[in-house]
Structure 1
Amino acid sequence: MKKVGLKARRSMWSLLAGFALSLILVAQAFGAASYYEGKTIEIIIPFSVGGGSDIWIRTIGPYLGKSIPGNPRFTYRNIAGGRGIPGMMEFALKAKSDGLMMLVSSATNYFPVLLGDKAAKYDFRQWKPLLVNPVGGVMYASPASGVKRVEDLAKAKNLIYGGISAIGLDMIPLISFELLEMDARGVLGFKGRGEARIAFERGETNLDYQTTPAYNATVVPLIQEGKAIPLMSFGQLDDNGNIVRDPAVPDLPTVPEVYEKIKGKKPSGKFWDTYKIFMPSAFAVQKILWVKGDAPAEAMRVFYEAADRLGKDKEFVTKTSKVLGGYPLLRGDRLEKTIQQAFQIDAETQRFVREWVGKKYRVKLD
């Protein structure tokens, strides 16, 4: 009987090792696929039907169902009112560790935590982000204001901004006005950004902001007609958490860039500290799909992998472009550190913000 040569034995063992590895990978894939096989995932939406977050998850939901192994079914439950707190608490109190109840959140849900609202008893540290969608914001002015470029903001007088609430997304432009020491007055109480934009078009206000999807759809035409002057974006975050230009409007400077143009130095002070805390949660990580933190690892993994696949799916990218605002659908595991940092605020800054909105905008917080 001939002896098997050393080279042959090595080849045989390599083949066996490769075969064994293939079996392991197949077993893992089968396990992931079988986890959601025949199951239904309930999505809690702490807003009314037809709102931005509701449209967001209902748009991407069918694609997720097709992309996730096992093709789970998605159902949606809207719990509106109370600044989104009742819906958030429903998930916080009733979600189990089986990964079958998830939550959609937006900036409205983050600010109560940052502001220390006692009614917001939910803790983001107990949950895991599965999917993230950033959104941008752009400031623009009326030519009638006398502002033709950002440097003019230092001398412009009687600027009037239309907003909804000082403790919602309007906080970011309002903080920007203070940081840049602009002579700008906030008129609050509008029912939505669309209504605020109409007031701008009527000449009732001369300063406005819109999210990047709305900006591209409704403000760019005004700019082309000479009825609006683009000024700045609120920015996005890079991988190190630094504020950088928004890729959706790369030609526009960020708020800190405008500060440097006007002041000749880098921003600093209480309003700068506040901006750095509130801007990321307001825009850079605005929409998030969450699952309970102790959900099975395979339940989380299939969502991360679905995000990767959908990012390469031409149909998904094309048909969801308007809803996603032109930004990619991001994996939550790669942004977890950034997200958790976005929800941290020191006691001194929190006290400063509460006093500021209380005195200037008469906001009473619990």
Structure 2
Amino acid sequence: MGGTIVIKLSRRNFITAAASGLAASALLGPKALAQGPVDFAGQTIEWWMPFAEGGGSDVWARFFAPFLSKHLPGQPNVVIRNVPGGGSITGANEFVARARPDGLSLLGTSASTQFPFLLGDPRVRYDYAKLAPVLVSPTGGVVYLPARFGVTSPAELGKITGEELVYGSQGATSLDLVPLLAFRVLGLNVRHVFGMTGRSDGRLAFERGEATIDYQTSSAYLTNVLPLVEQGDAVPMFSWGVLDANGTVQRDPTFPDLPHFVEAYEMMHGSAPSGVEFDAYMAFFGSGFAAQKPAMLPEGTPEDIVFTYRKAFEDAVNDQELQAIKGDILGDYVQAVGPDIEKLYAVATSVEPAARDWVREMLTTDYQVQF
């Protein structure tokens, strides 16, 4: 099977967001340049992080910060401002309330910030549609099973649909919502055991035989799970995959020989996935992995400043020094910059109302989540 599956993202709000975003992007060229050069010489730019120091998003921002400084006009000082709390909602709320649209404030978020927005959490005061994206970073992950099941590919998953599988989860509304939806779409019978403090807990439960299906992010998979595969104890089933600039599901470049989730579904069921459950999966997969970490300027930021930031991030991503050291921070994933940013950003920050309502009802009914 080839590595490209075209999924037409027919969610009305996605189309609207993408179309309006592309229209805005078209205005950022000659018009922005006509307003004169932007210069941040002698200035300090605060990159807001609604997370504590040392986490994955904080490391991501600190990795990019010196390259952003290098490629912005005037080479301003770029500092990280950590504002943790409320599962990242607190810092994002504070940013939209206080940050000025002068180019000196930048917000970075992750799936844990985007999921509450997509689910309609009443604590959320930020609206991604009003922010101006300047960078979107993807990541990936791999789902695997114990070798003792005798399942060697997704085409054989039907062998275990009658068996209860166990997955160690950090919570129904955490990033583990993506595998929760994926397993449901596939038709697997999975019991989610909550309370894991990280994906490493899930892997250890798998190694002890307490969990019988698991996924790990790309770097964790390569470091900790690949040895289990090589020892004959685990078998990879599929990656989540990535999205290209057109919203097309592609194979994960880190795992080009593994089918992505949509391919896995087709191998198992003989047809392409569809329906509200799949729409929900695509929305949260896009936000959780394919476009996990966006960087944005405040509402009302002038077009010339937005253009300048997008150009700076594009130059930063192409910087030979960054390419040489990106390693485990960025992996082999294509960073969305310049004109490629709008569609991926729309994927990360929009969900069709029917799919959102279905997820909320499912979480409330099956997992006692209160909104």
Matches within 5 A, 1:323-338: 323-331=329-337, 333-338=339-344
Q: Whose RCO is larger (CA < 8 A, sep 6+)? A: 2
Letter in 2 for 1:171: L
The residue that corresponds to 2:187 in the other structure is 181
1:129–1:333 contact (8 Å) kept in structure 2: no
The residue that corresponds to 1:242 in the other structure is 248
- SS of the counterpart of 1:209? strand
The residue that corresponds to 2:321 in the other structure is 315
Kindly state the Cα deviation for residue 63 of structure 1 after the two structures are TM-superposed.
Answer: 1.9
1:228 and 2:234 are equivalent in the alignment: yes
The residue that corresponds to 2:212 in the other structure is 206
Separation in 2, partners of 1:105, 1:268: 29
2:276–2:354 contact (8 Å) kept in structure 1: no
Letter in 1 for 2:187: E
Matches within 5 A, 1:1-366: 32=37, 35-156=39-160, 157-331=163-337, 333-365=339-371
Letter in 2 for 1:127: L
- SS of the counterpart of 2:114? helix
Separation in 1, partners of 2:355, 2:114: 16
Separation in 2, partners of 1:136, 1:265: 24
Separation in 1, partners of 2:322, 2:87: 31
Q: Deviations over 1:274-316 (max 9, x none)?
A: 1122111111111111101322333323332223323333321
Letter in 2 for 1:169: L
1:106–1:288 contact (8 Å) kept in structure 2: yes
1:168–1:160 distance in 2 versus 1, CA, 3 Å = same
Separation in 1, partners of 2:191, 2:261: 18
Separation in 2, partners of 1:237, 1:90: 31
1:152–1:358 distance in 2 versus 1, CA, 3 Å = same
1:329–1:237 distance in 2 versus 1, CA, 3 Å = closer
RMSD of aligned Cα (Å): 2.0
2:47–2:105 contact (8 Å) kept in structure 1: yes
1:180–1:259 contact (8 Å) kept in structure 2: yes
The residue that corresponds to 1:11 in the other structure is none
TM-score, scaled relative to structure 1: 0.87
Separation in 1, partners of 2:303, 2:355: 36
Letter in 1 for 2:264: V
Kindly state the Cα deviation for residue 237 of structure 1 after the two structures are TM-superposed.
Answer: 1.2
Kindly state the Cα deviation for residue 341 of structure 1 after the two structures are TM-superposed.
Answer: 4.3
Separation in 2, partners of 1:218, 1:332: 35
Moved more, 136-145 or 121-130: 136-145
Letter in 1 for 2:277: F
1:57–1:181 distance in 2 versus 1, CA, 3 Å = same
Q: Deviations over 1:226-248 (max 9, x none)?
A: 22211111121123212222222
TM-score, scaled relative to structure 2: 0.86
Letter in 1 for 2:165: L
The residue that corresponds to 2:9 in the other structure is none
Separation in 1, partners of 2:300, 2:339: 14
| Residue segments in structure 2 that go unaligned for 5+ positions in a row | 1-29
Moved more, 178-187 or 213-222: 213-222
The residue that corresponds to 1:6 in the other structure is none
Separation in 2, partners of 1:29, 1:39: 23
Q: Which has more radius of gyration? A: 1
2:132–2:298 contact (8 Å) kept in structure 1: yes
Moved more, 114-123 or 269-278: 269-278
Q: Which stretches of structure 1, 4 residues or longer, exceed 6 Å deviation after superposition?
A: none
Letter in 2 for 1:238: D
1:118–1:98 distance in 2 versus 1, CA, 3 Å = same
- SS of the counterpart of 2:274? coil
Identity of aligned residues (%): 40
1:307–1:331 contact (8 Å) kept in structure 2: yes
